[in-house]
Every structure is written in structure tokens, then in C-alpha cells.
Structure 1
Amino acid sequence: DVAFLALPTRLIPKYAQEILARGVNTVDSYDLHGELVKYRHSLDSIAKAHGSTAVISAGWDPGTDSMIRCILQLMTPKGITYTNFGPGMSMGHTVAVKALSGVKNAVSLTIPKGTGLHRRMV
């Protein structure tokens, strides 16, 4: 059995831990880059204790896009390997804005500025 955790990123750790503790494998798209190592370690002991497996950050960024960039960096170490995203809606940032007290509805957009930089419009 496997549970695909299609949730706002900040909710994923709680549910992943609960589901892994039931012996069910998980796949998620957790995308807080600076927290990935800590997140992985937080699931490791739970998964091992309950005979389950967690596949983390299996989305686009981090995930497939990150792997492609790493491969390209190996192939062309002096090449340009940054990624431009957008224009488009940012689910994570939209969820964060909607969670603010007093906000009735919101949409966050990612607008590319080039050279791997972008801006958000809410």
C-alpha cells in the first residue's frame, strides 16, 4: 500500500509520520529545500520501525528538475544550469497567503525575471 500526500507542504510531515507509523508507504512532494535533510531524518526512524518506506520530494522542484540540473552540471560544469519558473500560480505561496488572518481569498503568481530569479505577485 502507498499513500500519495498531495497536501500543502507544511502539512506533509505530520501526515507522513502518522501514515508511516501505520506501516503504509508514502510518496510526497515536500519542497522546503532548506529543511529536506531534517525532514528525511524525521521520517527515517519511523519508517524503519514500522517496515514502511517514504519517497520524499518526488515533485518537480525539488525532484525531477533538481536531478536534471545536477546531471547537466556534471556534463557542463561551466554551463548555465539555473531554472526559470513561471509565469504561473504558486500553490504553496497561495496556501500560505490564504492562511493569514483576515484574508478571504488570494492567488500568488510566480513571474520570471530571468537568470533564475523571479518575483511573486499576490
Structure 2
Amino acid sequence: MEYGIVTFLLDHTSVCDYHICTPAKLSSLRWKPNTSGRVVGSGDYDGVVTEYDLERCMPIFERDEHGGRCVWSLDYSHSGSTIGASGSDDGTLQMWDTRCVGNKWVAMAQPSMSKSAVCCVEFDPYSDTGET
């Protein structure tokens, strides 16, 4: 069933404002699947990916992923949301296991020999395997 913005606004009786504070400008935001809209991931200009628990109004953890280079995009696997990925000005795509606190990397790739910026990462929303 498809919902428009009017249906969304009419179905929600309370409005919640969420605020997150970051030390650098945000460059990417993504809702983490299977968290009932409670967790959002962000990437910033300092190369940091942070996950926030919006109900508790606090960061869950952060990863200094890309050596101070801007994170342009991040996404989560849609099958269980245990794998996250980010792309950056450093020319890498990095994937991690979201169940592990700290820097537990699953994989890192450099798609271009020229180290061109990775501006977009996205998991296949229809895949049950979490493949990109």
C-alpha cells in the first residue's frame, strides 16, 4: 500500500522533533532498517559515521571511517540491517557489521585507481542476501 505525505500527516497524532548535534557538517543521513524509525545513521565532512538512538537522544556509537575525508553517502542492508556501507572523498567504499561496537570492518574497496570520490553507496532493497 502506498502512502502520500497527506496520509502520513493525518495518521500521526503526535509530532516529534529530533535534534542531533555534530561537530562537523552533515553530508548524509539514512534511517537504519528494522529499528522502527528509532535509529538514524549520519555521515559528516570529517569522515565520521555516527548512529543515533533518537528515542534516547544520544549517539549509539561512531566510526572514524575515512581519515578525515567527507562521507558522501551511507546505506544499510535491508535484510536484517546488520551491514552498513559508506562512500567518501578518500576514494573508498567501506562496509562494517553494525552489531559490533568499534571499528569491525567487513570489507573495504577502492573502486577507482585514481581514488575518485565515492559519492553514492546503496544496497539492493529487493535482495534477501544484503548484496550491493
Q: TM-score, normalized by length of structure 1?
A: 0.24
Question: Which of the pair is proportionally richer in helix?
Answer: 1
> Based on CA coordinates, which of the two structures has the bigger radius of gyration?
1
Question: Which of the pair is proportionally richer in strand?
Answer: 2
Q: TM-score, normalized by length of structure 2?
A: 0.23
